[in-house]
Amino acid sequence: MEIVLFRPEIPPNTGNIGRLCVNAGASLGIIGEPSFDLSEKSARRAGLDYWQHLDLKRYKDWDEFLLQKKDRRIFLISKYGKSVYASVRFEEDDILVFGRETSGLPEEIMSSEKVEACLNIPMPNESRSINLSNAVAIVLFESLRQIYSWSENPLP
């Protein structure tokens, strides 16, 4: 499983997501340049001592990302998604792409033919969004629950 962030803006969110990825056995990809230095103290602090164990992948832009991931299923997570994230049967090699904290995913990505589906996390109509690191946790752990059919056993 790979979590991918498009040009993240808030260092603590990225740090928390990095820590989450390490604990979930997932890699973290970043498309484009984040709005901060990845070595920035606040990103590392949020990731605690997990950051050194993170499988971090960098992609210059959406096209480079697609070239490297052409044989994998790509799911976008957006409030504009047409299907609820839990309606999908996730597979181990899937990629979950999340947008920027303030502006989400650009139209270029939202309309890409290479995307399997655009998924949403249900919330009341008057809600604007869920914190990025919380959204990643919700969808990532649902995918892991499906893949590993958890009962009492932890991740492999």
Say if CB 56 and CB 94 are below 8 A apart. Answer: no
The boundaries of the domain holding residue 18 are 2-148
Select the more confidently predicted residue: 149 or 115.
115
**Domain CATH code at residue 86:** 3.40.1280.10
Task: Please indicate whether residue 32 or residue 50 has the higher confidence score (pLDDT).
Answer: 32
Within-domain flag for 102: yes
The more confident residue out of 12 and 105 is: 105
- Rounded mean pLDDT of the chain? 90
pLDDT band at 27; cut points 50, 70, 90: very high
Please tell me whether residue 74 adopts helix, strand or coil conformation. strand
d(CA 140, CA 71): 20
| Residue pair 41/85 in contact by the 8 Å Cβ criterion | no
> Which whole number is the average pLDDT over 29-57?
78
pLDDT for position 146:
92
In a domain, 154, yes or no: no
Number of domains in the chain: 1
Ordered alpha helix ranges (H), the chain:
11-24, 41-47, 62-68, 107-110, 132-148
Give pTM, 2 decimals.
0.91
Say whether 140 sits in a helix, a strand or coil. helix
Residue 155 resides in a domain: no
Would residue 156 count as lying in a domain? Answer: no
